[in-house]
């Protein structure tokens, strides 16, 4: 058994950790069945070599008889700022034998406000009135060009260690001696800036040298003062009226001395090649304005900056993975539409920007790149972008070969139009660069059906495209907001595909910050619009997501930090709805948003969510030891449930509204008397059947559709919906070429063409929330209701539909889990991997319990098999950790 995947604060070897008591985690791997950790020991030292010397350890837990492996808080000495700590974990297995060890490190950031000496600097309008060079009428509105900032400094000796701590009001790219620092994009991302502004930490030791050095940065408007959301006001409406920069370079020498170079009045500024940059509008570069060597020592004098603010403000160490360029996608087709004008197809709706190689353009020649998700009559369809221009422009510098790649904008697109290009556009001269927060991909789902695999691909692309700075609703039009319902509906799916623990926990701080003094959350976070109480299912994200992060990752601290706001939300709804039907203070009450042809009564949906949030807050209270709260919340929940039944459930099991979503909410949230459950399932099934296996659900209901059907014995219907290719269905969009999940079932239809451009995104993840079910039931990786971070696995492969096999893998916080099945020649084969320290209940659906064999032997008594029992549809095996291959007579479900 070996520990691997060591992490501090849910990231491997992070620089600049801001937590005073960071939490350490490791995973375990073993080929041996029944492997478990019985004890661990954590040690730490300031030098890696010192980990071997007991006298030089600064922290030693000694051997702790404990199976825990995740998020163990530091309880060593108080951590100092800007210090690297090496740590080692040693583990003992279930026999008490020493099993293995591994080591890692983390480095603290600037933990104290006093550590900051830097001041905010920006453009001084008095010193530098900006005058746009004449002659470019067709350019985007240009209010103020990005800042190019620099400062020179001298080092007497080579440093042994150097760190740059930096951030911006806006988005920035730091540079040192002519070289870009780090690989973060659009840093510092987007937070409730007035409450928390993230700074980034970079190791720049290798970029410095004795003699003259130059520290520089480009800073553009970003979310701070650019266009944000659908309210097209700019500038100064949301956060501030101009971008600014704050940085502190800390250089350490061998003799223990230190030199600090911080932003202050000695910095210089002038505009450069990027003439304007906006997240929604695009970027405009005039290469003729590029000053060679501007970011190296000895460059021409810049103008003085303005010191904008000596107070650094609410700086917080970046706690999650930054946005990066994650992959490059080549063009699959380049089509010339007119001389110099090309439409390029990347074959995938994606989010990022293009890199274009320009050949032989004379100085000042203007090339325009526009972006779109769809084509209409062979041309870009951009109506659905609303006011987002998504247009990049490049004025050539006159070199033989130039490369244009915008840096401070992003677009949602599959197609681009390149206009006014001199010469031919070779497919290799353009590439799409995909951007998103670098949440490590942890999951994989595959099956025998290409349409379902395309669905899984569309879901993961929707996740990539919308996990940019905050979980957004869409990445292309003038919106891109952190809508709460979208995020809570998709959270379970997202945590299958990637490790989103740090990303969502960080965004939850914004959700909590958005809550008002009465306890009402907002529909979006950060709050830049929609200044009223959140709608049902939207505000509930403030309860559901912390709970989900606890279940999926064992993150107790996120529960602790969210608990008061969870409770305040439930109390808020209760206070305004004392009769326990949520009818008042429902904000914009979107209902089952974008449902098809039906209307689920808002009150039914709202009251169901009131019950759900109350129940989850009660569970959170128990986890945190607040048992009095838990008891009160359980009473409240019982009352809401009774009110729900009384008001909306009839004696024959019909639920008010009679829609699929009404039944799904009632069944999924346990709001029906047990005796009426079969009847309600019958009504739900009848509705689906009478529509020839079509769904009517919107954002809210869709996540529950397949899970509820398969939990209630109607996997046949869940599969019928999964395989449906007629409108409305996932398959319909795929049949029409979708490579991402659409916002609306009818984003484009045979009968009506494009939906109204007023609201029609082709990259919205909500309807992709079925992904959790693909992993959880189709392949079969789930956990028991009381389990945390997949400690007690529930492996329930569900052969059905037209599938012949399905398989999922998931790198959980405890290690790698696999579950898959295949059927051939009447024989079912199930493979499962259970990581050390975990147990599993594995269901084998088979009509013949006696046929079950593990590795070709009767399952009972096999190593690691703790028990064999029959259940209604087959046999369950209780397993310890290990890898298993189980075969049995196949169930009679696959054609
Ligand atoms: C739209 C978006 C978003 C949704 C809200 C209610 O603006 O589609 O996803 O949450 O409406």
The answer to whether 28 and 37 are in contact (CB under 8 A) is: yes
Structure-block tokens of residue 553: 């990752």
Kindly report the number of other CB atoms within 10 A of residue 260's CB atom: 12
State yes or no: cis peptide before 103, omega within 30 of 0.
no
Which tokens is 450 given?
């290409």
Kindly give the distance from the C-alpha atom of residue 484 to the centroid of ligand 1, in angstroms, as a whole number: 9
Centre of ligand 1 from the C-alpha of residue 387, in Å: 17
> Atom 5 of ligand 1 has which residue's CA nearest to it?
483
CA nearest to 436, candidates 498, 513, 360: 498
From the alpha carbon of 484, which atom of ligand 1 is closest? 10
- Rounded Cα distance between 636 and 641, Å, is 9
Ligand 1 atom having least distance to the Cα of 479: 7
End-to-end alpha-carbon separation of the chain, Å?
42
Q: Which of 7, 9, 94, 743 is catalytic?
A: 743
Q: Rounded to the nearest whole angstrom, what is the distance from the C-alpha of residue 613 to the centroid of ligand 1? A: 21
Q: Pairing between strand 197-203 and 315-317?
A: parallel
Atom of ligand 1 minimally distant from the CA of 764:
9
- The CB-side HSE value for 104 (13 A sphere, CA atoms) comes to 23
Q: Which residues contact 268 (CB under 8 A, 6 or more apart)?
A: 149, 150, 151, 301, 302, 303, 304, 305
Closest atom of ligand 1 relative to the 590 alpha carbon? 6
Q: Retrieve residue 805's tokens.
A: 């096999």
Atom of ligand 1 nearest to the CA of 743: 8
Task: At 116, list the tokens.
Answer: 């900051």
| Helices (H), ranges, 353-423 | none
> What architecture (CATH level 2) is domain 443-779?
Alpha/alpha barrel (1.50)
In three-state secondary structure terms, 874 is strand
Q: 764 CA distance to ligand 1 centroid (A)?
A: 9
Name the residue with the closest Cα to ligand 1, atom 9.
Answer: 473
The CATH architecture annotation of domain 792-889 reads Sandwich (2.60)
Residue 474 Cα: closest atom of ligand 1: 9
List the chain residues with pLDDT less than 70: 127-143, 232-237, 894-895
CB of 812 closer than 8 Å to CB of 790: yes
To the query of whether residue 402 is one of the catalytic residues in this protein, the response is: no
Residues with CB under 6 A from ligand 1: 473, 479, 483, 485-486, 590, 593, 743, 764
Give domain limits for the chain: 2-108, 121-320, 324-437, 443-779, 792-889
Max CA pair span of the chain: 87
Distance (Å, rounded) from C-alpha 841 to C-alpha 703? 24
Contact, 305 vs 119, CB < 8 A?
no
> Among the options 283, 479, 811, 854, which is catalytic?
479
* Residue length of the chain: 895
The string over 327-355, giving b where at least 16 C-beta atoms fall within 10 Å of a residue's C-beta and e elsewhere, is: eebebeebeeeeeebbbbebebbbbbbbb
Q: How far apart are CA 659 and CA 657, in angstroms?
A: 5
Nearest atom, ligand 1, residue 473 CA:
9
pLDDT value of position 237: 66
For ligand 1, the distance from its centroid to the CA atom of residue 732, given in whole angstroms, is: 22
Q: Is 619 among the catalytic positions?
A: no
The rounded Å distance from CA 691 to ligand 1 centre is 27
Residue with CA nearest ligand 1 atom 2 = 473
> Which fold would CATH assign to domain 324-437?
Jelly Rolls (2.60.120)
Which residues are CB-contacts of 361 (< 8 A; sequence separation ≥ 6)? 367, 396, 398, 402, 421, 422
Tokens, residue 531: 């200044």
Question: What is the distance in A from the centroid of ligand 1 to the CA of 483?
Answer: 7
Residue 652, token pair as written in the block: 């024959």
State whether residue 159 is helix, strand or coil. coil
Pairs from 627-631 (Cβ < 8 Å, separation ≥ 24):
629/567
701 alpha carbon – ligand 1 mean position (Å):
15
Given phi > 0 = left and psi -120 to 50 = alpha, else beta, which region is 560? alpha
Residue nearest to atom 6 of ligand 1 (CA): 590
User: pTM for the full model?
Assistant: 0.97
Q: How far apart are CA 163 and CA 160, in angstroms?
A: 11
Minimum-distance ligand 1 atom for the alpha carbon of 535 = 6
3-state secondary structure of 812: strand
Q: How far apart are CA 570 and CA 574, in angstroms?
A: 6
Pocket test for ligand 1, best of 483, 605, 767 (most atoms within 8 A of CB): 483
In ligand 1, the atom with minimum distance to the C-alpha of 593 is 6
Q: Which CATH superfamily is domain 121-320 in?
A: Galactose-binding domain-like (2.60.120.260)
Say whether 792-889 and 324-437 share the same fold: no
SS3 of 650, please?
A: coil
Query: 263, 245 in Cβ contact below 8 A?
Result: yes
pLDDT at 310: 85
CA 531 to ligand 1 centroid distance, Å: 15
Query: What is d(CA 480, CA 470) in angstroms, rounded to the nearest whole number?
Result: 9
Specify the DSSP element, H or E, that contains 883. Answer: strand 882-889
For residue 315, give the 3-state DSSP assignment.
Answer: strand
Question: Long-range contact list for 311-315, CB < 8 A, 24+ apart?
Answer: 312/113, 312/116, 312/118, 312/119, 312/120, 312/246, 313/120, 313/197, 314/194, 314/195, 314/196, 314/197, 315/110, 315/116, 315/167, 315/197, 315/198, 315/199, 315/246
Structure tokens at 677: 């459950």
- In degrees and rounded to multiples of 5, residue 279 shows phi and psi of -60, -40
On the 0-12 / 13-18 / 19+ scale of CB atoms within 10 A, 869 is: exposed
Tell me which of 487, 530, 593, 764 to substitute to probe ligand 1's pocket, judged by most ligand atoms within 8 Å of the beta carbon. Answer: 593
Tell me: the pLDDT tens digits for 419-475? 999 999 999 999 999 999 999 999 999 999 999 999 999 999 999 999 999 999 999
> Ligand 1, closest atom to CA 230?
7
DSSP state of 643: H
The CATH code belonging to domain 2-108 is 2.60.40.10
Handedness of CA 679, 681, 683, 686 (dihedral sign): negative
512 CA from centroid of ligand 1 (Å): 20
CA-based Rg of the chain, rounded to a whole angstrom?
Answer: 29
Distances (CA, A) of 90 to 2, 35, 39, 98, 153: 9, 15, 8, 8, 45
| DSSP secondary structure of 189-210 | ----TTT-EEEEEEE-GGG--S
d(CA 534, CA 523): 4
pLDDT for position 236: 52
Element spanning 219, H or E: strand 211-220
pLDDT at residue 131 in the model: 52
By most ligand atoms within 8 Å of CB, the mutation choice from 384, 473, 523 for ligand 1 is: 473
Are 325 and 351 in contact, with CB atoms under 8 Å apart? no
The DSSP bridge partners found for residue 460 are none
Give CA separation, 15 vs 105, 402, 637, in Å. 9, 35, 44
Ligand 1 centroid distance, CA of 587 (Å): 14
Which of 386, 538, 588, 699 should be mutated for ligand 1, with most atoms under 8 A from CB?
Answer: 699
| 759 Cα: distance to centroid of ligand 1 (angstroms) | 9
* Mutational pocket test of ligand 1: of 462, 465, 486, 592, the residue with most ligand atoms within 8 Å of the beta carbon: 486
């Amino acid at each position: 058994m070996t520990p691997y995947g060591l992490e501090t604060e849910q990231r491997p070897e992070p620089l600049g950790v801001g937590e005073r008591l960071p939490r350490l985690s490791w995973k375990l791997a073993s080929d041996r069945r029944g492997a478990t950790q019985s004890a661990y020991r954590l040690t730490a030292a300031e030098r890696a070599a010192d980990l071997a010397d007991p006298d030089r350890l600064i922290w030693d837990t000694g051997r702790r008889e404990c199976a825990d492996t995740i998020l163990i808080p530091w309880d060593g000495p108080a951590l100092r700022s800007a210090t690297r700590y090496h740590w080692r974990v040693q583990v003992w297995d279930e026999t008490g034998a020493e099993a293995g060890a591994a080591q890692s490190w983390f480095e603290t950031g600037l933990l104290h406000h006093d550590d900051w000496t830097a001041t905010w600097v920006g453009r001084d309008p008095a010193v530098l009135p900006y005058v746009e060079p004449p002659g470019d009428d067709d350019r985007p509105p240009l209010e103020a060009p990005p800042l190019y900032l620099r400062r020179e400094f001298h080092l007497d000796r080579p440093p042994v260690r150097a760190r740059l701590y930096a951030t911006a009001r806006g988005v920035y790219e730091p540079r040192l001696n002519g070289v870009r620092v780090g690989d973060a994009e659009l840093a510092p991302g987007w937070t409730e800036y007035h409450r928390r502004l993230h700074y980034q930490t970079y190791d720049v030791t290798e970029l410095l040298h004795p003699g003259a050095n130059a520290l520089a940065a480009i800073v553009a408007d970003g979310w701070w003062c650019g266009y944000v959301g659908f309210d097209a006001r700019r500038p100064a409406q949301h956060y501030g009226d101009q971008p600014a920069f704050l940085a502190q370079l800390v250089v350490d020498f061998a003799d223990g001395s230190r030199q600090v170079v911080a932003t202050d009045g000695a910095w210089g500024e002038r505009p450069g090649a990027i003439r304007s940059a906006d997240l929604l509008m695009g970027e405009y570069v005039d290469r003729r304005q590029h000053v060679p060597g501007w970011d190296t020592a000895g460059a021409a004098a810049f103008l003085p900056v303005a010191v904008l603010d000596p107070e650094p403000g609410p700086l917080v160490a970046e706690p999650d993975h930054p946005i990066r360029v994650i992959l490059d996608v080549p063009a699959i087709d380049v089509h010339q539409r007119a001389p110099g004008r090309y439409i390029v197809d990347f074959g995938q709706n994606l989010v990022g920007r293009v890199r274009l190689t320009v050949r032989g353009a004379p100085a000042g020649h203007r090339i325009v790149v526009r972006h779109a998700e769809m084509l209409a009559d062979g041309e870009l369809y951009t109506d659905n972008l609303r006011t987002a221009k998504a247009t990049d422009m490049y004025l050539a510098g006159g070199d033989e070969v130039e490369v244009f790649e915008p840096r401070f904008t992003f677009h949602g697109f599959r197609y681009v139009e390149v206009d006014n290009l001199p010469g031919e556009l070779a497919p290799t001269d353009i590439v799409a660069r995909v951007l998103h927060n670098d949440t490590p991909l942890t999951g994989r789902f595959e099956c025998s059906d290409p349409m379902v695999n395309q669905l899984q691909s569309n879901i993961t692309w929707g996740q990539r495209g919308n996990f940019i700075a905050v979980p957004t609703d869409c990445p292309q039009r003038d919106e891109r907001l952190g809508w709460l319902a979208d995020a809570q509906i998709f959270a379970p799916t997202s945590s299958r595909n990637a490790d989103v623990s740090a990303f969502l926990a960080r965004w939850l701080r914004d959700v909590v910050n958005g809550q008002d003094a009465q306890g009402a959350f907002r529909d979006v976070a950060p709050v830049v619009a929609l200044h009223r109480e959140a709608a049902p299912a939207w505000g509930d994200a403030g309860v559901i997501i912390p709970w989900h992060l606890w279940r999926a990752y064992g993150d107790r601290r996120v529960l602790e930090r969210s608990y008061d706001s969870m409770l305040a939300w439930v109390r808020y709804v209760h206070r305004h709805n004392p009769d326990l039907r949520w009818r008042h203070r429902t904000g914009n009450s979107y209902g089952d948003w974008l449902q098809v042809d039906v209307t689920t009564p808002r009150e039914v949906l709202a009251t169901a969510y009131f019950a759900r949030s109350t129940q989850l807050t009660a569970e959170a209270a128990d986890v945190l030891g607040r048992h009095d709260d838990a008891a009160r919340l359980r009473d409240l929940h019982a009352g809401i449930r009774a009110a729900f039944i009384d008001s909306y459930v009839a004696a024959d099991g019909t639920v008010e509204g009679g829609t699929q979503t009404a039944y799904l909410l009632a069944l999924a949230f346990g709001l029906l008397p047990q005796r009426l459950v079969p009847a309600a399932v019958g009504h739900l099934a009848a509705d689906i059947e009478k529509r020839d296996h079509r769904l009517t659900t919107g954002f809210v209901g869709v996540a529950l559709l397949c899970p509820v059907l398969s939990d209630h014995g109607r996997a046949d219907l869940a599969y019928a919906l999964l395989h449906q290719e007629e409108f409305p269905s996932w398959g319909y969009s795929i049949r029409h070429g979708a490579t991402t999940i659409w916002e609306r079932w009818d984003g484009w239809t045979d009968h009506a063409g494009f939906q109204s451009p007023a609201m029609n995104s082709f990259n919205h993840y909500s309807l992709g929330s079925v992904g959790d079910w693909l992993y959880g039931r189709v392949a079969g990786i789930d956990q028991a209701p009381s389990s945390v971070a997949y400690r007690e696995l529930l492996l329930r492969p569900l052969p059905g539909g037209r599938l012949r096999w399905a398989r999922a893998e998931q790198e959980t916080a405890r290690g790698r889990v696999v579950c898959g099945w295949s059927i051939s020649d009447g024989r079912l084969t199930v493979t499962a991997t259970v990581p050390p320290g975990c147990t599993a209940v594995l269901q084998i659906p088979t009509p013949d319990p006696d046929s079950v064999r593990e590795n070709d032997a009767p399952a009972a008594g096999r190593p690691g098999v703790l028990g064999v029992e029959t259940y209604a549809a087959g046999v369950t095996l209780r397993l310890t950790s290990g890898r298993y291959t189980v075969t049995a007579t196949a169930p009679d479900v696959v054609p």
